[in-house]
Amino acid sequence: MRHGSARALDVVGTLARLGLAGIWLVSGVLKAADPDQTYIAVRAYDVLPTAGVTVVADVLPWLEIALGLLLLAGAGTRAVAGLSAAVLLVFIAGVTQAWARGLSIDCGCFGGGGQVAPGETAYGLELLRDTGFLLLAVWLLIRPRTLFALDDRLESRPVARSGEGRN
């Protein structure tokens, strides 16, 4: 029975890993495809100086794509899940502060973003969605073992000691 429950947890972890990978890849590709709109979305939060907005808008899409590719491959799953959780907490804080300050913006989480008409915000849904994504990352932090992951292959390979295998 233990073996079956461990296998079920591996399946749940695999779904969490692949789901989070897909989220990062879609989000990153949409942002990378429209860097001007990404800049507008980051600027709309009104928390960074212009230079900071530029850096975040330039780096964020590629960070998200990198996180997605690493999760897709299952490479460094626990570390990538930790970084994912940290990024998601920043996103949650950003949306929360925008809501608390009465800003009318679209989060730009999946492209687009920027100012919207009052009443067109969806802060509650955005926070709920990002909290769900955060739960996927937390699952992988606690239990990073998943199926079809490079982590398993990298960890199970014996490491040659210096001098071994030489004639």
At 149, is the secondary structure helix, strand, or coil? Answer: coil
* Residue 34 amino acid letter: D
Convert the pLDDT of each residue in 82-111 to its tens digit: 999 999 999 999 999 999 999 999 999 999
Per-residue DSSP letter, 115 = E
pLDDT at 153: 85
Q: 118 — phi, psi (to 5°)?
A: -55, 140
Report the predicted TM-score, pTM, of the whole model to 2 decimal places.
Answer: 0.90
Convert the pLDDT of each residue in 16-67 to its tens digit: 999 999 999 999 999 999 999 999 999 999 999 999 999 999 999 999 999 9
Q: How confident is the model at residue 1 (pLDDT cuts 50, 70, 90)?
A: very low
